[in-house]
Chains A and B, each alone.
Chain A
């Protein structure tokens, strides 16, 4: 199979609304998901959920691990349960064929070599401002694929579980992460001046082991 066939097979699996619901639930979950939780989330039986989850694994959209969900370990803790998480592999297909990633990589390499970080950040800030949301900036970032979720420790912090520029950010981290921060800062700043409910957020570079390198911080009303 060609890469395109692969991608189409994977994405075709999501044509079924039940599978799509399961995929979205697993992808959005902060940790691996068991069959029971997945079944409950989309309102189907455990057996049906197991069937569809395994189809998603076959398609390369989800990955499987085995974990003892009870938290017990050692003899008597029971058989480890099958749990699911989103697969790391990217699937993209374009009809007719387009190769924006090739263009993006070439442009990034040129910008990097020319040392145009500052110009890129200015452009990103302006673009973010031009796309400023009317309303909740967290919802706006969710709509852009950042997958915001609460930080486990700091309740004023919202982390972004997905990096929309992942492959490019891996190759040109300083450049692309700086661009991404400026983009989000522009969006937050313009949003805050456009609508009151957008106020009270700041963006900061705060990379974790994976996901987006930027985190949002809720500023206490007194600090505004």
Chain B
């Protein structure tokens, strides 16, 4: 029976061996255990031992040749045995030059283009808190402090923020190390702080052209209410341009006085006081149209428009005419805060006799507001703008502010409205007049 002579694994790591020399020749008698050849392995030169007996009939791999472990390099068989069916490795006699190592696969894909994430938008609204009237929308708290650009948030918070449409980068975190957690996201949602209103959204990847947002109760209420205003109410508008230099000075000295109490008042607080005082002198603007009569109020309950998430609400400073600026300031702050948390009681946002709306902090110079029925007037206050004006024949730069009054002509005539505005302007340009 024929015995194939194989290139054997003569070391555990050997994969191929080189035949150094045959110690037997074709035609030699072979006994089981005879040394047939010397093989050079990856480690040393080893002896290849015969595993059968007979005659070394065929040598396939000659001296110097290299073959892989397992390949047939010779045949031992009976002298007359037919071995034509046995195939062996060919070659040999070549030098030990190894075949060139296989090429590293050349299909190395190019590095995928770095995905660019949309750059986080800087909040469009200035974050200066000093002169921010309480009525500005989206008053920004400082973005989650000291984050070095990376937001620490729990996985749940991230998911909720995404679901709720809250910009997690602007949510202050109450967890360890400033981690934003679920309760922080929920709070941010409620107060509208981190509503990404001003951040232009990246294009929705599915390219939708519009989005239908279901109307909330608040929006329905505003719509219903104001449709009944500008529609049926015959409205006209009066604008004055006020020099705010004295108010600015007055504010400084008032705040100096209040410093020891840890309080500050804003321009708007002073403005509200002035409006209340002026209305006391023009109660015909502090009135309501009713079927068959006009109700004229002697007390001034000022509605202060506050923008909140998804809408607008007007908490009321009751008896504003009788309250000092500091008290008005505190009340406005407190009511506005709770307004944003949607925690006002109904009697806190109803019962105003006149309303003030200030969009100065959003960069508006001048606008017209819609009367809050059943009131008969509303003031739209713009921002203080350094403006070149002519004073005593010379051009100078003054801080100027525009106030536009909308009047219900059924209650207030043009002259009446104008006189009220004159009084108000006088008070603002000379604040001591408020004391009268």
Q: Decide whether A and B assemble into one complex.
A: no
Q: Which B residues form the contact surface with A (CB < 8 A)?
A: none
Q: Which A residues form the contact surface with B (CB < 8 A)?
A: none
